């Protein structure tokens, strides 16, 4: 524990851990890698024997072991785990919302957006040792599940009796994880990277660990994706309030107790404050239990007197600490200038311990200066963003010459030809009235392509089979080409899916009609009967939004469709399509009532959209 006075010393501060590389550990880890690749599962026992560890009878945790954990974890701890998990999940779900973007129109007729997709299979490593790192499992498992990862496996070392801690197993039980393996250290990383007869190969590996685990992750990083470059834990604390000296000391010790190589930096512009902090550290350390670790890591505590506020900012951004604690209440003046940090804790009531366990932010953070280029672990790390684009005939015409000119400048004539060969298709589409609508909300993602001059082709998947059927009838009876896929929150309720599909379809109708010049516009008293049911519908494509809806009483559900949404579907559709519509459907059979209405509406709309001339269909010259 040393004090550095920046006012008198020009010596460069050594931020990085001196133990970031270990040749002896690397040599051993390389041998373990070769053993796992050549012998697979059999290598576990060989490595365990070498390390004087007992090999379990079964490397895969049995379901009975998972179920037994329920009675081995106290209710008090369960409550704390669930409270922490709820906060972590809340942050993850908020992050997930922005990973898929809504479409933007870059050029008129060109829509681009991003889709987020989860990684197919991920491996989570949870260190063992003197205590189960239950928080580490939560910090990795929850973002993986929020991202949508379907195949999640967990590797963690067993205790001396060959058992996994019940806390780890109980969390696995709560979150439905069944693939848990009693394998630790570098061998666990290699098992997940290359696969064995027991442990499956994964696409990406997550989790902290000791020097052997970190060396293993680096060694296999060309064969499998890994999460973050890991190093010893570190914290930087900034304070100019002498009353907060005991808090600064406690925060430093909370990180130094992790590992002999953990590091802590305390910055103040007042030398007197640093000396008081040093005294407080010496007092508090005597009361802590992890003396064997602290006796070594205390040598990695630096107390730094900054020359000025500006100098403090230089130190922060040069170090890029894993954890940055801005202890004083004027933290905002630092916050706006900090460019490099893994996670920031503002004010005297925000201990770093909150972030380690329960506030909701992730505690898997970049160390050893990597916060200059890396972020902490999050939902984004368990998936990838895929860019998507689509062009209408108008978009094609607007962008084609720009692209052709660029391709010619680079002498890439195949690129040029790939544009020109589409010209006839663009001309054909330009003569039809069609539109692609992509609608994204918090509840649904809808991809819809409508051609009102089509022939009745369709491919529809709304997630509700009876709504699929109704829209298929709309397509066939209106001779509209309709291609629609919807991903919605049907597990909660069907309301958002049905409403958003109606809005998307109405928007596509409205846009496909363009300025509506020369269309028939009116279609009055189109009538269709199905057995005892009679449906009569009239429309006016005047751009005036009005719906008069009348239907006989319906049962609560027809198939999986809630009939309370029947009228609401047409309310949303008519408003989005900008039209007037009168619907009157009578009868007794609920199935027929819905189907007849959709068929009649399609037939009516088909007549109204017919182009009769290029003159306006309104006496005022405007619809």
Q: Is residue 370 part of a domain?
A: no
The number of folded domains in the chain is 4
Average pLDDT of 379-393? Answer: 96
Q: Are both 550 and 456 inside the same structural domain? A: yes
Q: How many CA atoms lie within 13 A of 586 on its CB side?
A: 3
Q: What are phi and psi of 612, to 5 degrees?
A: -100, -30
pLDDT digits 0-9 by tens, 81-96: 999 999 999 999 999 9
Say how far residue 360 (Cα) sits from the centre of its chain: 15
d(CA 422, CA 252): 65
The per-residue pLDDT for 188 is: 96
Last residue of a domain, one of 360, 381, 401: 360
89 vs 152: CA distance, rounded Å: 17
Tell whether 565 is covered by a domain.
yes
Residue 409 forms part of a structural domain = yes
Residue 368 lies in a domain: no
Q: Which of 167, 179, 323, 595 is catalytic?
A: 323
- Look at residue 129 in the predicted model and tell me its pLDDT: 61
Query: Residue 621 pLDDT more than 60?
Result: no
Dist CA 365 CA 447 (whole Å): 37
What is the pLDDT, as a whole number, of residue 147? 97
Give the percent of the chain with pLDDT over 90.
82
Q: Does residue 521 fall inside a structural domain?
A: yes
Q: What is the pLDDT of residue 32?
A: 95
Residue 289 domain flag: yes
- Chosen domain end from 431, 453, 478: 431
pLDDT tens, residue by residue, 354-368: 999 999 999 999 999
Please name the residues in contact with 594: beta carbons below 8 A apart, sequence gap of 6 or more. 466, 470, 554, 558, 561, 563, 566
pLDDT at position 186 over 90: yes
Tell me if 564 is assigned to some domain.
yes
Contacts of 155 (CB under 8 A, 6+ apart): 123, 124, 125, 126, 180, 181, 183, 184, 188, 189, 191, 192, 199
Annotated catalytic residue: which of 322, 348, 416, 494? 322
Is 410 considered catalytic here? no
Q: Which domain holds residue 39?
A: 23-100+119-226
| Residues 143 and 204 occupy one common structural domain | yes
Catalytic residue flag (residue 491): no
* Domain co-membership, 316 together with 209: no
Nearest Cα to Cα of residue 361 among 41, 153, 142, 40: 142
**Strands across the sheet containing 104-107:** 104-107, 110-118, 383-391
Does residue 42 share a domain with residue 11? Answer: no
The Cα–Cα gap between 155 and 127 comes to 9
Q: What is the DSSP letter of 270?
A: -
| 192 and 314 in a common domain | no
Shared domain for 166 and 82, answered yes or no, is: yes
Domain end, chosen from 226, 261, 287, is at 226
Q: What percent of the chain has pLDDT over 70?
A: 97
CA distances to 271, 285, 483, 610 from 471, in Å = 75, 71, 10, 20
Residues 527, 400 within the same domain: no
Strand-strand pairing, 110-118 and 104-107 = antiparallel
Same domain membership, residue 442 and residue 420: no
pLDDT digits (tens, 9 = 90+) for 494-521: 999 999 999 999 999 999 998 888 888 8
Q: Identify the band that residue 442 occupies on the pLDDT scale cut at 50, 70 and 90.
A: confident
Q: Are residues 475 and 550 in the same domain?
A: yes
CATH number at 266 reads 3.40.50.1980
Do 601 and 556 sit in the same domain of this protein? yes
Do 291 and 193 have their domain in common? Answer: no
CATH of residue 489:
3.30.230.40
What value does the mean pLDDT take over residues 278-288? 95
The answer for residues whose C-beta is within 8 angstroms of residue 334's C-beta and 6 or more apart is: 238, 312, 313, 316, 326
Residue 379 lies in a domain: no
* Domain identity same for 409 and 438: no
- pLDDT > 50? residue 392: yes
């Amino acid at each position: 524990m040393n004090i550095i006075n920046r006012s008198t010393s020009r010596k460069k501060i050594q931020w990085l851990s001196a133990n970031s590389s270990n040749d002896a550990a690397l040599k051993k880890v390389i041998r373990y890698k070769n053993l796992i690749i050549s012998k697979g599962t059999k290598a576990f026992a060989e490595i365990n024997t070498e390390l004087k560890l007992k090999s379990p009878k079964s490397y895969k945790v049995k379901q009975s072991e998972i179920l037994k954990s329920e009675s081995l974890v106290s209710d008090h701890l369960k409550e704390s785990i669930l409270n922490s998990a709820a906060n972590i999940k809340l942050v993850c779900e908020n992050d997930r919302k922005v990973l898929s973007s809504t479409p933007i129109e870059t050029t008129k007729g060109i829509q681009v957006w991003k889709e987020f997709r989860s990684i197919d299979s991920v491996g989570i490593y949870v260190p063992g040792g003197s205590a189960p790192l239950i928080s580490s499992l939560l910090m990795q498992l929850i973002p993986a599940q929020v991202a949508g990862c379907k195949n999640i496996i967990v590797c963690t070392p067993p205790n001396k009796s060959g058992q996994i801690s019940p806390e780890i197993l109980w969390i696995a039980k709560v979150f439905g994880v069944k693939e848990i393996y009693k394998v630790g250290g570098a061998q666990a990383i290699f098992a997940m990277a290359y696969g064995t007869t027991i442990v499956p190969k994964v696409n990406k590996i997550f989790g902290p660990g000791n020097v052997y685990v970190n060396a293993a992750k680096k060694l296999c990083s060309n064969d499998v994706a890994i999460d973050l470059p890991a190093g010893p834990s570190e914290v930087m604390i900034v304070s100019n309030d002498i009353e907060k000296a005991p808090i600064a000391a406690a925060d430093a010790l909370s990180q130094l107790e992790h590992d002999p190589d953990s590091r802590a930096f305390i910055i103040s512009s007042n030398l007197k404050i640093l000396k008081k902090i040093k005294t407080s550290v010496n007092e508090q350390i005597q009361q802590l239990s992890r003396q064997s670790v602290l006796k070594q890591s205390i040598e990695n505590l630096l107390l730094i007197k900054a020359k000025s506020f500006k100098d403090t900012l230089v130190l922060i951004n040069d170090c890029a600490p894993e954890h940055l604690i801005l202890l004083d209440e004027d933290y905002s003046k630092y916050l706006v200038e900090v460019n490099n940090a893994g996670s920031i804790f503002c004010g005297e009531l925000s201990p770093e311990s909150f972030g380690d366990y329960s506030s909701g932010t992730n505690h898997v953070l970049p160390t050893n200066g990597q916060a200059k280029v890396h972020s902490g672990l999050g939902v984004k790390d368990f998936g990838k963003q895929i860019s998507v684009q689509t062009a209408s005939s108008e978009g094609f015409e607007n962008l084609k010459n720009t692209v052709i000119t660029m391709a010619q400048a680079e002498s890439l004539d195949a690129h040029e030809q790939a544009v020109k060969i589409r010209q006839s298709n663009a001309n054909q589409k330009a003569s039809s009235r069609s539109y692609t609508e992509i609608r994204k909300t918090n509840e649904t993602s809808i991809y819809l392509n409508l051609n009102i001059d089509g022939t009745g082709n369709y491919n529809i998947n709304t997630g509700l089979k009876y709504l699929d059927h109704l829209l298929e009838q709309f397509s066939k009876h209106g001779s509209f080409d309709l291609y629609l896929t919807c991903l919605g929150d049907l597990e909660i309720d069907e309301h958002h899916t049905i409403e958003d599909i109606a809005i998307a379809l109405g928007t596509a109708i409205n846009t496909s009609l363009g300025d509506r010049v020369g269309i028939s516009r009116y279609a009055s008293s189109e009538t269709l009967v199905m057995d005892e049911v009679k449906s009569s519908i009239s429309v006016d494509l005047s751009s005036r939004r009005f719906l008069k809806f009348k239907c006989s009483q319906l049962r609560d559900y027809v198939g999986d469709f809630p009939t309370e949404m029947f009228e609401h579907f047409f309310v949303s559709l008519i408003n989005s399509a900008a039209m007037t519509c009168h619907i009157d459907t009578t009868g007794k059979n609920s199935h027929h009532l819905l189907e007849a209405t959709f068929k009649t509406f399609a037939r009516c709309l088909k007549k109204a959209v017919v182009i009769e001339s290029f003159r306006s269909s309104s006496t005022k010259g405007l619809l």
